[in-house]
Chains A and B, each alone.
Chain A
Amino acid sequence: AQKITQTQPGMFVQEKEAVTLDCTYDTSDPSYGLFWYKQPSSGEMIFLIYQGSYDQQNATEGRYSLNFQKARKSANLVISASQLGDSAMYFCAMRGRRVDSNYQLIWGAGTKLIIKP
């Protein structure tokens, strides 16, 4: 069965510091995609970054980068130079080529990140 694990229920980080949010996954499918989403207190779910299992390089999007270690089955999100507006819940999700016969995302439980001024 496919599974996503986020071991950090909550994190406090000082403004302007870099932060790493952990995500490990389990799948036997060789083709899969990993996603990170941000959910501020207002509730909307915002897509941040995507990493494909066959991508040779780690994905980057502005201040977001994904530390993809395939052998360890980890896909940690790194936020550089954190800002107060980064305070939110962060979810890691995975989609396999076939997941229980559909393409639904498997979601982690989330990490609540709070940036301190």
Chain B
Amino acid sequence: GAGVSQSPSNKVTEKGKDVELRCDPISGHTALYWYRQRLGQGLEFLIYFQGNSAPDKSGLPSDRFSAERTGESVSTLTIQRTQQEDSAVYLCASSAQGTVNQPQHFGDGTRLSIL
């Protein structure tokens, strides 16, 4: 596609439920990133995929968070047993390759609200 696509755009769920967020990167982009952005704050790195290498999961805040990526395409971020502090916008980005000069291109994000 023309840009990074994320779905759903909005998700409201009850505390304790599991949620799955989806990201379709730009075709041909080998690097994919997930970020969390709480209201009025900057971006918090969650996880990074680069090609077939093992993902960097160092930003995942707890074992309730996990992510997968199929080859160099779609990625899903799963949050289990959601808590109210998980409420945030979850942004996905992709870049042509994980090197210094490649900008990350972002999707519009998924706004997650935990009741």
Contact = CB atoms under 8 A, between A and B. Distances in A.
A102 B48 CA distance: 8
Nearest to A46: B106
Interface string A86-113: 0000010001110011111101111000
A7 interface: no
Contacts of B104: 35, 47, 105
A110 B35 CA distance: 15
Nearest to A37: B106
Interface string A48-67: 00101000000000000000
Contacts of A46: 106
Interface in B14-63: 31, 33, 41-43, 45, 48, 50, 56, 58-59
Contact of A31 (B58, B100, B103, B108): B100
B11 interface: no
A103 B42 contact: no
A105 B59 CA distance: 12
Interface in B58-111: 58-59, 89, 91, 93, 98-101, 103-109, 111
Given A43-B108, A103-B50, A103-B98, A108 B56 contact: no
Contact of B56 (A32, A102, A110): A102
B101 A50 contact: yes
Given A44-B106, A91-B43, A101 B56 contact: yes
B98 A43 contact: no
